[in-house]
Amino acid sequence: MGALGVVIHGFIMVIIAICLMSEETNAAQGTAIFYDPPYIPSACYGRQNLGVMVAGASDAIWRNRAACGKNYRVRCIGGANLAPHPCKAGNVVVKIVDYCSSPCNGDINLSRDAFSKIADLNAGKVKIEYFPA
C-alpha cells in the first residue's frame, strides 16, 4: 500500500470508529413488549392512522408527550424470560404514537407487527437496544 493508500485507509477507519461510537452513545438498553392491533386511537394522534410500525412509550422515554412522533431503531439483544430463541436478526424502526401507562411492563411497547420482525411473539418480552432513528 502506498502512502496515500495508508492515509485513506486510516481516514476510513477513523470515520467507521466515529460512526460506531456515536451509535453507542445514543443507544439505550431496555425491554420491549407488544400490543395487538388496532393501533388506533393513539394517545399522540387520536384516530389518525400512522401505519403498523408504531409503538407505545413507557415513562422511560415518554417525557410528557415529547416522545410523540420520535422514531426509534430497535434491535432484540436477548431474552427477558425463559422462552427459547427469542431474537430474530435485524432491526425495525418504529414511531412513537402512544403512551404505555405506568406501570408499563417494558420500556417500549411495540406493535405486534414491529415486535414480530425482531423477536418471537411467543417470547412476549425481550431485551432490546434502541436509539433515535
Ligand X SMILES: *[C@@H]1O[C@H](CO)[C@@H](O)[C@H](O)[C@H]1NC(C)=O
* Binding piece for ligand X, criterion CB under 6 A, among 18-26, 63-71, 72-80, 98-106: 98-106
Using the structure block, give the residue that is written with the C-alpha cell 427469542: 86
Interface residue with ligand X, options 32, 44, 56, 115 (CB under 6 A): 56
What does the alpha-carbon distance between residue 30 and residue 10 come to, in Å, rounded to a whole number?
35
- The residue assigned the cell 417470547 is 123
**CA separation for the pair 55, 87 (Å, rounded):** 18
State residue 11 phi and psi, 5-degree precision.
Answer: -60, -45
Report the nearest approach of ligand X to the CB of residue 33 (Å): 5
Residue 45 touching ligand X (CB under 6 A)? no
> Which of 27, 28, 31, 35 forms a contact with ligand X (CB under 6 A)?
35
Binding site for ligand X (CB under 6 A): 33, 35, 56, 98, 100, 105, 109
